[in-house]
């Protein structure tokens, strides 16, 4: 296999100093077969001085290359680099003709054939350094250019691109783009089902596979309403108008990320076209992704980072703007609760691992290193930092700085220093010092209240901060309602505090609960004084606002992970208060943590049956509470988790046989596969039942469901086949690999799969080396034996990281994180044993 080089920061800077890239003319031919396509590229560029450089390309075959009409030797292609020697100062034309491979891993030009109807679709995902899998390019974000694209496609296909496309006789031509970065070029081709409209004179479109057409049609009005509302709100916030000629949103198969912000053609994973029932919180999540990607049209596409150390300038801003704009412009007015429950936990966890990094690292050496930073820090922590910045700076000055940033750098590139300078120009506050404290540091600060008695029955508050960041927070003072209902907490007042605090703050009589960071405006772990903790245990569900309850649940989650609260105590609190919870994001977040972390990892094997029983009883309570049909979303969450924690097959097997849960819901495809997967784990189904279900649902999702179920069967031959499919063959797509991995490891089957634990590390290393970052990520995330919480699993993993022939960076990062989580789970379990 030819060596593939990653681009270093130094190489990119050197090339940017030498070159000025003007225009790409790209011709793709998608009619040449199922394995490869043709790619012809003309690059017009200037050299500022004489010098040497290179262009990137990863072809199946480089047929020819010419520079200014003079042939270049294709054999000089070294891995993914074609050298350009002895360039002279002035203008140049580079032409390359190549045969390129389709991808099955979601990288480059991904090709997918729908098992439902046999139709084929292709689309590009060119992020970071995958442009070279599709066409030749000077592949770095600060060499922006205009792109002219034409595509020859099979009859009956539609071709979507960054600009409006026209076609004649199978040739599709896209309107030239403004100056954009190479990684933002996009193509999606196939027999799409499309829903089209116009807004402000711009074409808007929604697109999906034909087999999903009825489901997209059902949701098209909602999706377009959210799109229009966010579009209008961004135009109220930003002085620069939307900078492209159309806005298409394509829901594409086997997409590795949630979505990608290609200008004019945003691609989403097509699980967002719902085939089965979903909760309103899941609809809110989809709407947030729409808002997030649209924010990128300004943050990332109009103004682009100069190099990958400023990833946060893209992702943190889109994350913050997505949640805030959705709250302001749509019916989803409580998005920050969902952010607090799901996204912040992602950031807190990432920030406490050895792989943590600053939101804005000082330097990222190369593209392989940069790819690792698309994590909870660049998204959730960065967005939390921006929310804190807005609380400190004020939204008016914040938006003034943003608009200056756009005006100065539109269709160009910018750095953190540029951004901070533009913000600083809009305020008298020391934004540079704020940036140093928040963006250049790692770790999570912890905030702890101390309440001291004062005179005449009053108290004072001192908030202790571990860490170095300044925090502007609210402290909520809650008293018990002495009325007939009991169990309710009433907000007395919220105190605005700046930490570090100067002196003690008078708070009057002792509150039943004092909650730091009430409103969740900062990014920090929160602790309770002893009396407040007892109030939380007794009256958590009596707190009036969901965002307040989210802060409390996060604090309890952190306490479990830090070994300060027994997992059983968390389960008891959930058992007492979750049946009374009204916010779906909180119910989903608490149940997910309780089942995935507490029941599967943090309790000992001997304690696991009791944990599952508690969760099962909790889900039954929620199901009973929703029998009147008033809250179908809550009922759906409870049914899903009741299936997942079932210790005995009888109840859920009856649901599957009847096709419904008594009182509803009916079992749609997602619930049927979910039940069958749990029955497989429990040894209560077989291959014949799986095959029958696949015949009933032969869709791509059905194929994944069958793979998950087959890998979950408690049978040595089934496990052997699953392992061979994952690690002994390269046939599985990233989605089918993930589904198989999800089924393979089960805590109930620890003895059966014990021998595979030591095999995991060498097999995952070899797979990642063969198949690249996308499969490395899947192998590290989904195929890791997370259930095996024991010192030997940890020792084997640490040895793997020390080996000379160790994992590629994408897998190494996943293993570092998984092993740190494993060590934490061991500490939690050992703490229970010692207690």
Per residue in 322-370, pLDDT (tens digit) is 999 999 999 999 999 999 999 999 999 999 999 999 999 988 999 999 9
Helix (H) or strand (E) holding 25: strand 19-29
Backbone angles phi, psi at 472, to 5 degrees: -105, 115
Q: How confident is the model at residue 454, as a pLDDT?
A: 82
Q: How confident is the model at residue 275, as a pLDDT?
A: 97
Alpha carbon dihedral 477, 481, 487, 489, in 10-degree steps, equals: -20
Distance CA 252, CA 111 (A): 10
Short-list 831, 807, 817, 809, CA closest to 786: 817
Beta strands in 704-828 (DSSP E): none
pLDDT digits (tens, 9 = 90+) for 94-106: 999 999 999 999 9
pLDDT digits (tens, 9 = 90+) for 663-706: 999 999 999 999 999 999 999 999 999 999 999 999 999 999 99
Burial class of residue 354 (count of CB atoms within 10 Å of its CB; 0-12, 13-18, 19+) = exposed
Short-list 547, 570, 344, CA closest to 444: 344
Helix (H) or strand (E) holding 710: helix 700-712
Residue with tokens 């045969």: 99
Question: Helix/strand/coil (H, E, C) string of 348-409?
Answer: HHHHCCCCCCCCCCCCCCEHHHHHCCCCCHHHHHHHHHHHHHHHHHCHHHHHHHHHHHHHHH
Q: How confident is the model at residue 486, as a pLDDT?
A: 61
Residue 125 and residue 255 in contact, taking contact as beta carbons nearer than 8 Å: yes
Q: How confident is the model at residue 485, as a pLDDT?
A: 59
Taken in order 586, 591, 594, 597, the sign of the CA dihedral is: negative
Task: Write out the two tokens for 823.
Answer: 């060590």
623: Cβ contacts below 8 Å, ≥ 6 apart: 635, 638, 639, 642, 661, 663
Task: Write out the two tokens for 375.
Answer: 């994590």
708: Cβ contacts below 8 Å, ≥ 6 apart: 673, 677, 739, 740, 742, 743
Residue 434 and residue 268 in contact, taking contact as beta carbons nearer than 8 Å: no
> Known catalytic residues?
293
Split at pLDDT 50, 70, 90, the class of 832 is: confident
Q: What angle do CA 384, 390, 393 make, to 5 degrees?
A: 135
CATH number among 2.60.40.1730, 3.30.70.2860, 3.50.50.60, 3.10.20.30, domain 9-191: 2.60.40.1730
Distance CA 513, CA 491 (A): 9
Query: Is the pLDDT confidence value at 441 over 80?
Result: yes
Query: Cα 28 from chain centroid?
Result: 30
3-class state of residue 731 by DSSP: coil
Residue 471 and residue 498 in contact, taking contact as beta carbons nearer than 8 Å: yes
Q: How confident is the model at residue 544, as a pLDDT?
A: 96
User: Burial letters for 273-307: b for 16+ Cβ neighbours within 10 Å, e otherwise?
Assistant: bbbbbbbbbbbbbbbbbbbbbbbbbbbbbbbbbbb
Q: How confident is the model at residue 207, as a pLDDT?
A: 98
Q: How confident is the model at residue 55, as a pLDDT?
A: 98
Q: How confident is the model at residue 502, as a pLDDT?
A: 85
pLDDT digits (tens, 9 = 90+) for 563-585: 999 999 999 999 999 999 999 99
Distance CA 261, CA 250 (A): 11
Q: Does domain 216-244+271-442 have CATH number 1.20.120.420?
A: no
**For range 385-402, the mean pLDDT:** 95
In 122-204, alpha helices (H): none
Short-list 215, 395, 371, CA closest to 308: 371
User: Length of the chain, please?
Assistant: 835
Short-list 418, 408, 384, 508, CA closest to 458: 508
Query: Is the pLDDT confidence value at 431 over 70?
Result: yes
395: Cβ contacts below 8 Å, ≥ 6 apart: none
Task: Write out the two tokens for 284.
Answer: 């809110």
CB atoms within 10 A of CB 467: 17
Q: How confident is the model at residue 484, as a pLDDT?
A: 54
pLDDT digits (tens, 9 = 90+) for 150-180: 999 999 999 999 999 999 999 999 999 999 9
Distance CA 118, CA 23 (A): 37
> Would you list the DSSP string of 688-700?
HHHHHHHHH--SH
Distance CA 52, CA 87 (A): 6
Beta strands in 191-264 (DSSP E): 193-199, 202-208, 247-252, 259-260
Residue 71 bridge partners (DSSP): 66
pLDDT digits (tens, 9 = 90+) for 227-284: 999 999 999 999 999 999 999 999 999 999 999 999 999 999 999 999 999 999 999 9
Parse the chain into domains and list their residue ranges. 9-191, 216-244+271-442, 445-522+524-565, 714-835
Distance CA 407, CA 309 (A): 22
730: Cβ contacts below 8 Å, ≥ 6 apart: 770, 771
pLDDT digits (tens, 9 = 90+) for 550-563: 999 999 999 999 99
Query: Is the pLDDT confidence value at 461 over 80?
Result: yes
Query: Is the pLDDT confidence value at 751 over 90?
Result: yes
Split at pLDDT 50, 70, 90, the class of 455 is: confident
3-state percent helix, strand, coil for the chain, nearest multiple of 5: 50, 20, 30
**For range 733-742, the mean pLDDT:** 98
Counting DSSP H helices and E strands in the chain, the numbers are 28, 28
608: Cβ contacts below 8 Å, ≥ 6 apart: 599, 600, 747
Query: Is the pLDDT confidence value at 1 over 70?
Result: no
Distance CA 293, CA 322 (A): 8
Distance CA 728, CA 445 (A): 45
Q: How confident is the model at residue 362, as a pLDDT?
A: 87
Taken in order 551, 557, 560, 565, the sign of the CA dihedral is: positive
Distance CA 72, CA 56 (A): 14
Q: For the chain, what is the mean pLDDT?
A: 96
Distance CA 73, CA 77 (A): 8
Question: Helix/strand/coil (H, E, C) string of 613-678?
Answer: HHHHHHHHHHHHHCCCCCCHHHHHHHHHHHHHCCCCCHHHHHHHHHCECCCCCECCHHHHHHHHHH
Helix (H) or strand (E) holding 584: helix 584-593
Task: Write out the two tokens for 388.
Answer: 């804190």
106: left (phi over 0), alpha (psi -120 to 50) or beta: left
Backbone angles phi, psi at 53, to 5 degrees: -155, -160
Distance CA 678, CA 669 (A): 14
Distance CA 680, CA 690 (A): 9
pLDDT digits (tens, 9 = 90+) for 634-651: 999 999 999 999 999 999
């Amino acid at each position: 296999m030819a060596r593939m080089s990653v681009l270093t920061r130094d190489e990119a800077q050197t090339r940017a100093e030498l070159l000025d890239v003007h225009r790409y003319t790209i011709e793709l031919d998608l009619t040449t077969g199922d394995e490869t396509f043709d790619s012809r590229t003309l690059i017009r560029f200037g050299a500022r001085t004489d010098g040497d450089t290179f262009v990137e390309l990863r072809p199946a075959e480089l047929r020819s290359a010419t520079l200014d009409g003079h042939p270049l030797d294709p054999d000089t292609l070294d891995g993914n680099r074609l050298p350009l020697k002895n360039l002279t100062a002035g203008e140049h034309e580079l032409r390359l003709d190549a045969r390129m491979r389709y991808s099955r891993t979601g990288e480059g030009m991904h090709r997918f054939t729908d098992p439902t109807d046999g139709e084929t679709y292709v689309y590009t995902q060119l992020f970071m350094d995958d442009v070279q899998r599709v066409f030749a390019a000077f592949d770095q974000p600060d060499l922006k250019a205009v792109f002219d694209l034409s595509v020859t496609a099979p009859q009956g296909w539609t071709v979507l691109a960054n600009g409006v496309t026209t076609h004649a006789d199978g040739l599709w031509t896209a309107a030239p783009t403004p100056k954009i970065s190479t990684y933002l070029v996009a193509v999606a081709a196939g027999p799409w089902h499309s829903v089209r409209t116009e807004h402000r004179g711009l074409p808007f479109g929604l697109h999906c596979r034909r087999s999903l057409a009825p489901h997209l049609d059902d949701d098209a009005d909602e999706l377009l309403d959210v799109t229009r509302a966010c579009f209008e709100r961004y135009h109220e916030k930003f002085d620069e108008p939307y900078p492209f000629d159309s806005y298409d949103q394509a829901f594409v198969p086997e997409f590795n990320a949630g979505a990608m912000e290609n200008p004019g053609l945003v691609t989403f994973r097509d699980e967002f076209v719902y085939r089965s029932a979903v909760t309103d919180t899941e609809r809110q999540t989809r709407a947030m992704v729409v808002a997030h990607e649209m924010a990128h049209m300004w943050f990332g596409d109009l103004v682009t980072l100069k190099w990958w150390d400023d990833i946060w300038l893209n992702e943190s801003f889109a994350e913050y703007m997505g949640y805030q704009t959705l709250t302001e412009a749509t019916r989803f007015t409580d998005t920050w609760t969902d952010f607090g429950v799901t996204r912040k936990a992602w950031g807190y966890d990432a920030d406490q691992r050895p792989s943590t990094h600053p939101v804005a690292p000082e330097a990222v050496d190369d593209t392989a290193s940069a790819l690792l930073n698309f994590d909870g820090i660049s998204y959730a922590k960065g967005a939390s930092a921006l929310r804190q910045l807005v609380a400190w700076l004020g939204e008016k000055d914040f938006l003034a700085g943003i608009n200056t940033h756009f005006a100065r750098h539109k269709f160009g590139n910018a750095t953190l220093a540029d951004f901070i300078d533009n913000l600083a120009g809009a305020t008298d506050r020391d934004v540079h010092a704020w940036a140093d404290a928040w963006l250049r540091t790692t770790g999570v600060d912890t905030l702890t209240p101390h309440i001291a008695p004062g005179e005449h029955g009053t108290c004072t508050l001192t908030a202790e901060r571990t860490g170095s960041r300044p925090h502007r927070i609210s402290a909520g003072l809650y008293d018990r309602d002495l009325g007939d209902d009991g169990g309710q907490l009433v907000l007395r007042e919220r105190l605005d505090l700046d930490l570090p605090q100067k002196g003690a703050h008078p708070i009057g009589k002792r509150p039943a609960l004092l909650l730091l960071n009430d409103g969740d405006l900062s990014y920090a772990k929160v602790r309770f004084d002893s009396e407040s903790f007892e109030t939380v245990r007794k009256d958590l569900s009596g707190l009036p606002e969901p965002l307040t309850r989210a802060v409390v649940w996060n604090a309890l989650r952190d306490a479990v992970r830090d070994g300060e609260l027994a997992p059983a105590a968390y389960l008891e609190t959930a058992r007492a208060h979750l049946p009374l919870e009204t916010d779906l994001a909180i119910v989903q977040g608490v149940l997910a943590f309780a089942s995935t972390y507490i029941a599967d990892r943090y309790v000992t094997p001997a304690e696991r049956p009791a944990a599952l029983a508690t969760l099962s009883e909790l889900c039954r309570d929620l199901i009973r509470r929703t029998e009147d049909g008033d809250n179908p979303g809550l009922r759906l969450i409870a049914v899903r988790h009741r299936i997942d924690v079932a210790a005995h097959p009888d109840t859920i097997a009856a649901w599957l046989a009847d096709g419904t849960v008594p009182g509803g819901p009916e079992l749609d495809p997602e619930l049927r596969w979910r039940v069958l997967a749990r029955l497989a784990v429990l040894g209560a189904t077989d291959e014949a039942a799986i095959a029958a279900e696949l015949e009933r649902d032969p869709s791509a999702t059905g194929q994944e469901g069958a793979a998950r179920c087959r890998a979950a069967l408690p049978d040595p031959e089934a496990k052997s086949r699953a392992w061979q499919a994952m690690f002994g063959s390269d046939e599985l797509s990233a989605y089918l690999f993930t589904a198989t991995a999800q089924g393979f490891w089960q805590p109930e089957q620890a003895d059966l799969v014990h021998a595979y634990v030591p095999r995991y590390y060498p097999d995952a290393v070899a797979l990642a080396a063969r198949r690249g970052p996308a499969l490395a990520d899947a192998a590290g995330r989904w195929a890791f034996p997370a259930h095996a919480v024991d010192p030997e699993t940890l020792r084997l993993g640490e040895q793997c990281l020390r080996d000379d022939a160790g994992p590629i960076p994408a897998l190494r990062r996943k293993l570092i994180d998984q092993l740190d989580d494993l060590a934490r789970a061991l500490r939690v379990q050992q703490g229970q044993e010692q207690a």
